[in-house]
Amino acid sequence: MTQFAISWRLSRGRFLDAIKDLNQEQLNWRLQPGSLTLGEAALHVAGVEVSFVSQLTDATLDDLRSKLKLAATEGVVNDNPFPFTADEITPELVAMSLDLAEQMARPLLENPSRAVLEKEIVSALGPVITGEGALARFAFHPGYHQGQAHLIRTAPGFPA
């Protein structure tokens, strides 16, 4: 197993622990205008994983994975609407999306080929990065949103 996979498992596990018990109201509670809800953050995490893996492996995506790929950027790093509505963001969709993304990402993180590590792709923020850069981002990305989850869950007004 690679260092990428070890770090990713830790940061992603902590993110999952921070959101796994949330109901639909909690997943869709917005701390302030312009911020992500925890449901949106979860679908964004899955979306970044789907986006990077699909670019690195030239994978064909079904409808849900294509929509998740949009969640890597839409409404997150630009002003477009987030691709999922609050009505769609349920505990079941969040769990299924994170599971699908994990199934795609885990093999790549655990045993990337030299070709994958050297391949150039476009990151969610726009710069061209290598596969190695993508895997390094995978390892940290869920941890960033785990910190947000803690702040949101402890904010005044967060639904009980």
Per DSSP, the three-state class of 128 is strand
Is 64 part of any domain? yes
Q: Is the pLDDT assigned to residue 123 strictly greater than 90?
A: no
Is 20 part of any domain? yes
Q: Which domain holds residue 42?
A: 3-153
Choose among 34, 26, 24, 47: nearest CA to 104.
Answer: 47
Helices (H), the chain: 3-19, 24-27, 38-57, 63-70, 91-110, 114-118, 131-153
What is the C-alpha to C-alpha distance for residues 60 and 66, in angstroms, rounded to an integer?
9
Is 145 part of any domain? yes
Give me the CATH number covering residue 119.
1.20.120.450
Count: domains in the chain = 1
Interval 22-73: pLDDT, tens: 999 999 999 999 999 999 999 999 999 999 999 999 999 999 999 999 999 9
Is 160 part of any domain? no
Per DSSP, the three-state class of 121 is strand
Query: Which residues, in sequence order, are bridge partners of residue 122?
Result: 128
Is 159 part of any domain? no
What is the C-alpha to C-alpha distance for residues 66 and 55, in angstroms, rounded to an integer?
12
Is 119 part of any domain? yes
Is 80 part of any domain? yes
- pTM of the complete model: 0.96
